[in-house]
Amino acid sequence: MKIEPKENIPLSSYSTMRLGGPARYLLEITSPFEIEPALKWAEEKNLDVMMIGQGSNIVWNDAGFDGLILVNKIMGLEMQDNEYQAFAVIGGGEPWDSVVARIVDANLSGVEHLSLIPGTAGATPVQNVGAYGREIADVLVCVQAYDRQANKMVILSKTECDFSYRKSRFNTVDKNRFFITSVTLALSHDNPMPPFYPALEAFLKSHNITQHTAKNIRQAVIEVRNSKLPDPAKVANCGSFFANPIIDNMQLDSLVEQYPGIPRWEIDSDNTKISAAWMLEQLKLKGYHEPNTGMAIWDKHSLVLVNENAPNTASLLAFRDAIVKKVEEKFGVTLQQEPELI
């Protein structure tokens, strides 16, 4: 198979933050069979290779990527549905929200809470995408992937993916080892069951929605998300830019003494997750525009950094660093970036 990647392609077109330098080579992959020849081609040239989806969780450095980027465009959605069980096998390059829409239209449930999450189906296991109290690990059966260590296609069961909160082996110990070509999900004929996440519950109550069908839950999720999050097709952003910090009991006690109102969620007996959004709001940063960098914080969601007219990634990073410093100075907590910087 002849591999003909494009050369010197601006990666700003492959990130919803719309910043970053060029990829030395870039190739859109439409079939799993293209992966092996592409890897061989890159190996001969001694180039790094990585696979991406829509770049909704990537910030590219200004230097770009001095290797080969494979953009996953492997399509297909096959549903197997009988009276008792329903499964969907989804090509890794399928736009995730269109997958959710088709599953919900088929009167199946399981992914409706994950409506409107940008990106591809193949990227959902990477950070175990989640929203409104549900995550892809809840429905994932297995992934099919090209294993760059074994040099062959493999099937990894859900257990083998090693999922935890926004983590899997794909973004930790085995980063860049597996190129995910398809995901298989187990779906349900039953309606989604309460209790629902507070923001969703409040929306359902205030709109008098008592029928908890997958369609109604999807619609509610879409409306709640649209009221808070910018549409990456219109406003350049990568969703939540900062993760909620997880701190130990000692740090928690001293923080709560000073700020009793800080929203927090116990993870286990030793660790607690605290609200990064709340800290930024205390610093009056919600809706803050910074003309020097061309960056801003979204006025309806303080964790979302938006690129209004930043000239480059360095400007975004300067803006990020200034925010991290302010939070450190006031709360003694260091915010971690959620999207990957490559």
Ligand X SMILES: Cc1cc2nc3c(=O)[nH]c(=O)nc-3n(C[C@H](O)[C@H](O)[C@H](O)COP(=O)(O)OP(=O)(O)OC[C@H]3O[C@@H](n4cnc5c(N)ncnc54)[C@H](O)[C@@H]3O)c2cc1C
Positions marked catalytic: 166, 240, 338
Per CB under 6 A, 28 contacts ligand X: no
Q: Of residues 117, 221, 280, 335, which one binds ligand X by CB under 6 A?
A: 117
Cβ neighbour number for residue 321 with a 10 Å cutoff: 10
The answer to whether 296 and 320 are in contact (CB under 8 A) is no
| Closer CB to ligand X, 27 or 252, in the complex | 27
Cβ neighbour number for residue 284 with a 10 Å cutoff: 9
Per CB under 6 A, 21 contacts ligand X: no
| Closer CB to ligand X, 18 or 331, in the complex | 18
Closest approach of Cβ 163 to ligand X, in Å?
12
Residue 332's closest CA among 244, 260, 251, 240? 251
Cβ neighbour number for residue 191 with a 10 Å cutoff: 16
Closest approach of Cβ 317 to ligand X, in Å?
18
The residues in 81-100 that bind ligand X, with binding defined as CB under 6 A, are 92
Site string for ligand X, 167-206 (x = CB under 6 A): ---x-------xxx--------------------------
Number of shown-chain residues binding ligand X (CB under 6 A): 34
Rg for the chain, CA atoms, rounded: 21
CA 150 to chain centre: 27
With b meaning 16 or more CB within 10 Å and e meaning fewer, what string describes 229-266? Answer: bbebeebbbbbbbbbbbbbeeebbeebeeeeeebebee
The values of phi and psi at residue 198, to 5°, are -50, -45
Per CB under 6 A, 32 contacts ligand X: no
Q: Which listed range, 31-39, 118-126, 248-256, 260-268, lies at the site for ligand X (CB under 6 A)? A: 118-126
Interface positions with ligand X (CB under 6 A): 16, 50-58, 72, 92, 117-120, 122-124, 126-127, 129-131, 170, 178-180, 229, 232, 237-239, 340
